[in-house]
Amino acid sequence: MSQTDVKGAVTNCLAKANITTKLVNTSVSGQGIIIRYVLMPKMPLPEIKSSISLEADKYFPFPIDDVVMDCFILEERPQENKVFVLVAARKKRAD
């Protein structure tokens, strides 16, 4: 499912429930779901994803080839030249 599909699904759910907020929080749970918060040097998001993939053993207890992963910059810290990143991953298949 693409980001556009998810946004559309959330928008439709909110409209059906007559909720007009612009801010929405979602979550994912279950076995094989891992969420990490990582402080990294400031760089573009594609480079962050690549860096995390290269250092996956620091963040995940299973091989990077076994996960679907995505990242989101939560906060920029210009005074430190760093970004605070949320990293979410799930196993591709259950054990």
pLDDT digits (tens, 9 = 90+) for 3-13: 557 778 888 88
For 74, phi and psi rounded to 5 degrees?
Answer: -85, -35
Q: The domain spanning residue 43 has which CATH number?
A: 3.30.1490.300
Report the pLDDT value the prediction gives residue 16, as an integer from 0 to 100: 92
Q: What pLDDT score does 95 carry?
A: 54
CA distance 46 to 51: 9
Cα(67)–Cα(75) distance, rounded to whole angstroms?
A: 25
pLDDT tens for 31-46 read 778 888 999 999 999 9
2 pLDDT higher than 60: no
Distance CA 24, CA 11 (A): 10
Domain limits at 83? Answer: 28-91
Task: Report residue 44 as tokens.
Answer: 């573009």
Q: What is the DSSP string of 57-85?
A: HHH-SS-GGGEEEEEEEEEEETTTTEEEE
pLDDT of residue 94: 58
Residue 68 placed within a domain = yes
Residue 4 lies in a domain: no
Task: Encode pLDDT of 60-80 as tens digits.
Answer: 888 888 888 889 899 999 999
pLDDT tens digits for range 12-23: 888 898 988 878
pLDDT at residue 44, as a whole number: 94
Tally of domains within the chain: 1
Beta bridge partners of 75: 84
